[in-house]
Amino acid sequence: MRKEKWNDNWLFWEDKDSFALLWDIPEKAVPISLPHDAMIQKPATPDSKNKGCTGYHDGGNYCYAKRFFVPSEALYKTILFKFEGVYMNAMVYINNQLAAQCPNGYSTFYVKADDYLIYGQENEIRVSAKTEAMTNSRWYSGSGIYRDVYYLEASKLHLAPDETRITCKTADPSYASLEIDLQVENDTAHPKNVCVKSVIRDKNGVEKFHTHSILHLSAGEKRHAIQQALITNPDLWDDENPVLYCCSTELYEDSALIDSETTSFGIRSLALDPVHGLQVNGKTIKLRGACLHHDSGFLGAATYEDVQYRQIRRLKQAGFNAIRMAHNPMAPAMLRACDELGLYVMDEFSDMWTRSKNDFDYALYFHDWWEKDLTSMVKKDYNHPCVIMYSIGNEIPEIGTAYGEKLCSRLAKKTKELDQTRFTTLAVNGFFGVGNKLHQIVADVEAALPAFERDNDTVNDFLAKVDKHVDKIVLHPIISDCLDNLDPYLDIVGYNYMANRYPKDLEERPMRLIVGSETYPPTIARNWRLTESLPNVIGDFTWTGWDYIGEAGIGIPGYAPGTGGMGAEYPCQISYCGDIDLTGFRRPMSYLREIIFHRRTAPYIAVQNPSHFGEEMLPSPWILSDSSANWNWSGYEEKPVIIEVFSAGDSVELFRNGQSLGLKPAGINTGYRVLYQTTYAPGTLEAVSYENNVEIGRHMLCTTKKGVKYILSPEILIQDHLIYIDISYSDEDNRCVPDQDQMISVTCENAEILALGNGDPRNTIPYQTTQCMTFEGRALLILKQTGPDPVKVTLISENKITNELIIKEDDLWNEKIN
């Protein structure tokens, strides 16, 4: 099937009158290219109906339209449109006729256009996305056609699009046995005799196997065909060796090529048992996981291929080998990035089933649509070797009821019918899987616990309130009963914030397999110690790997009401709990985790803000501290300060301006985190880690000089012709200056400015502007090239420092850089 990306030449407008008399495209419609997020185009406002859920951004009712010519000869063709994601309540009209709809904002869906087209004339396709009914999401959702759209065309006799499934039945270093399941559709009025040929090639394009099948199809028939393949000495896919193969399938009638399709896949085996845990290609793997929401930072929900690759690459560089998509099916672009770069994936179906978490969320449609949407997710994922398990839900409130258990069995069964090669899980939050018995649990554990406010508390509110009591609460027998009821249906039980249960549960239920599907960042040292020591526990997924818009404030250190934590108010717009911030910059927690994962031996220094010395932060279990990699604290000379040193060795020594502040125990017995209390003195801090009195690494943190220049560091991303430019306000020694932030303005030639912003969780300047403040000395500019000519960027700051960057033609419009 001919397949082309269909993202250009759309018109967009906000629909203010659904009952308009005339079905026309209004003059206010503006030309846009996809992917497009309408929500991010509006500034955040303190009176948002969505409040902090979406970072104080509101939705609306939006329309997209495109006119296209269909030649007369296309009458003998099949034409489809593929939408990878429209948030939400998508209605697709072709020539004013409803051709398809999809309430779920994350499902891939297809529109068969044949019955609605006018041949030999111009046609119109219109997409309506309705998000004005708020609230409908617990996190930043975006609005509109935020993922790619494709135009598909083939003869009436064709291979069914995206229906080729390649199953690895057995795989080891000597050979792999594969099954190719494909579907042929005969939409003609005549029987057809066809030949289907399949060729498998390795990463270098070398043919490794070929086969063919002869099919006899009746008029109007759809037929599955199964082909067998054998690959000798295969390159097996895993996170350290992400090797991909491709299968080229061709459809012939009377020796004439009618249709073709190419499918990328990987060869690998999966196994799961309580002795070896999770095995990939016979090797036990522990998942060093990060939960992710789906937004693209400053670009909102707009899902560019380049952005997905950049995010996955940086997560892997930080030590992760797995991600959990929370709490919706992952974008195809991110799946491709995980395939090619090597990260394991837990793809997740939904955040709710039949009980709403917001007034207008997917629970309104679940009963009628869950089977279709679950099928869409599994079909999308099937040929991606990165996907190793499906989560059928997250923190489902009704899971502790008889009906919830029945639904769990139905979803798990359907998932297995669609894909027997991967594992099923469900992310269980013990607090909210027990329904109305939560009050009894709280009362039984400790009468002094904060009262649970039935009408006002959200999941996150309650978790913050009971933070210091979580380990007691999750051990309650009522939660044990809830988990026991899930064992018959799931391959792996997902524990959200319940790591303290691991030893007890595995002693009582030794056959249970567990994954830490969502965990607090500050508990990683304990969690990873348990994960490594217990074979039944296959991994840990922190909340979160990458910062995101929405759930505003849960990770923002705050000291006064409304400034951070669970009670954060506007202008807090982002979560600020990610190991990596919105710009892609690694925060201190990322380095602690890398050390705990045994991926880094050098220590790392972070400093708590001395202006809040002795104060208690507002409660939030997602915050370790308010530390940053900063030794610029002008005005706090000789005042007390706490320094955090993350160290893998059994001991660590900290030096301030060459003077030792003492040798202290470090490593696993201290949670890899050592605190030093001293006073601030400009100069240098240097930490040295030791193992058995032998130095294994060191790290230095320096007071910088005055900022004198801006360093612009471009990252050229070829697939979508995007350019990410890291901006650093630096001193004469090229060191980023973290305490002299300035307002900057940028202009650009031969590229469109998509966004400009910083990692500040309280930023109030919209990202779709040409101005922003630096934050701790940094900012990020995102451009889209408009042609092959050199791109010129000019920056000027409020203190009159300027800089120019010219990206030459030789650096642009090449093949994709991995």
Please report the pLDDT score of residue 449 as a whole number: 53
Half-sphere exposure of 746 (CA within 13 A, CB side): 32
For domain 709-811, which CATH number applies: 2.60.40.10, 3.30.450.20, 2.40.40.20, 2.60.40.1120? 2.60.40.10
Please report the pLDDT score of residue 445 as a whole number: 65
Give helix 477-484 / helix 438-445 axis angle, nearest 10°: 140
Using left for φ > 0, alpha for ψ between -120 and 50, and beta otherwise, residue 120 falls in left
Q: DSSP character for 521?
A: G
Rounded distance between C-alpha atoms, residue 71 and residue 52, angstroms:
49
Q: pLDDT by residue (tens digit) across 534-570?
A: 999 999 999 999 999 999 999 999 999 999 988 899 9
Q: How is 34-66 classified by DSSP, letter by letter?
A: SS--SGGGSPP-TT-SSGGGGTS----EEEEEE
Q: How confident is the prediction for the chain on average, in pLDDT?
A: 94
With bands split at pLDDT 50, 70 and 90, how would you rate the model's confidence at 136? very high
Query: In the chain, what's the furthest Cα-to-Cα distance?
Result: 90
Rounded distance between C-alpha atoms, residue 370 and residue 102, angstroms:
11
Which of 303-312, 423-432, 639-648 shows the lowest per-residue confidence on average (mean pLDDT)? Answer: 423-432
Rounded distance between C-alpha atoms, residue 129 and residue 303, angstroms:
16
Question: What distance, in Å, lies between the first and last C-alpha atoms of the chain?
Answer: 27
601-702 has which CATH code? 2.60.40.10
Q: How is 161-191 classified by DSSP, letter by letter?
A: TT--EEEEEEE-SSEEEEEEEEEEEE-SSS-
Please report the pLDDT score of residue 3 as a whole number: 95
Q: Which of 740, 729, 746, 744 is nearest to 782 (CA)?
A: 746
Rounded distance between C-alpha atoms, residue 163 and residue 148, angstroms:
19
679 strand-pairing partners = 640
Q: Can you give the three-state secondary structure of 217-252, one letter per residue?
A: ECCCCEEEEEEEEEEECCCCCCCCCCCCEEEEEEEE
Please report the pLDDT score of residue 430 as a whole number: 85
Q: Would you say domain 173-265 falls under CATH 2.60.40.10?
A: yes
Q: In 282-377, which ranges are E strands?
A: 283-284, 287-292, 322-325, 344-348
List the strands of the sheet with 2-5, edge to edge.
2-5, 149-155, 77-83, 109-112
The answer to whether the CB of 70 falls within 8 A of the CB of 123 is yes
Q: Does the pLDDT value for residue 460 go beyond 90?
A: no
Q: pLDDT by residue (tens digit) across 707-738?
A: 999 999 999 887 888 999 999 999 999 999 99
Which of 249-258, 302-311, 434-443, 584-593 shows the lowest per-residue confidence on average (mean pLDDT)? Answer: 434-443
Q: Does the pLDDT value for residue 818 go beyond 70?
A: no
Q: What are phi and psi of 153, to 5 degrees?
A: -145, 135
Residues 6+ apart with CB under 8 A from 721: 784, 785, 812, 813
pTM: 0.95
Instruction: Determine the average pLDDT of the residues in 364-374.
Output: 98
Instruction: Determine the average pLDDT of the residues in 647-666.
Output: 97
The answer to whether the CB of 54 falls within 8 A of the CB of 137 is yes
With bands split at pLDDT 50, 70 and 90, how would you rate the model's confidence at 210? very high
The answer to whether the CB of 175 falls within 8 A of the CB of 233 is yes
Token code pair at residue 531: 């994960």
How do the domains of the chain map onto residue ranges? 2-154, 173-265, 272-299+388-591, 601-702, 709-811
Instruction: Determine the average pLDDT of the residues in 187-211.
Output: 97
Q: pLDDT by residue (tens digit) across 147-171?
A: 999 999 999 999 999 999 999 999 9
Burial of 461 (0-12, 13-18, 19+ CB in 10 A): middle
With bands split at pLDDT 50, 70 and 90, how would you rate the model's confidence at 359? very high
Please report the pLDDT score of residue 565 as a whole number: 87
With bands split at pLDDT 50, 70 and 90, how would you rate the model's confidence at 454? very low
Q: Which of 295, 296, 329, 300 is nearest to 102 (CA)?
A: 329
With bands split at pLDDT 50, 70 and 90, how would you rate the model's confidence at 23? confident
Rounded distance between C-alpha atoms, residue 110 and residue 149, angstroms:
10
Instruction: Determine the average pLDDT of the residues in 794-811.
Output: 90
Please report the pLDDT score of residue 330 as a whole number: 98
In order of 70, 189, 435, the CA distances from 582 in angstroms are 43, 55, 35
With bands split at pLDDT 50, 70 and 90, how would you rate the model's confidence at 463? low
CATH architecture of 2-154: Sandwich (2.60)
Which of 9-13, 437-441, 793-797 shows the lowest per-residue confidence on average (mean pLDDT)? Answer: 437-441
Q: Does the pLDDT value for residue 390 go beyond 60?
A: yes
Q: Identify which has the larger pLDDT, 486 or 461.
A: 486
Instruction: Determine the average pLDDT of the residues in 9-21.
Output: 85
Q: What is the residue whose two structure tokens read 């020694």? A: 733
Asked if 2-154 and 709-811 have one fold, the answer is: no
Rounded distance between C-alpha atoms, residue 356 and residue 649, angstroms:
48
Which of 400-409, 421-430, 445-454 shows the lowest per-residue confidence on average (mean pLDDT)? Answer: 445-454
Half-sphere exposure of 47 (CA within 13 A, CB side): 0
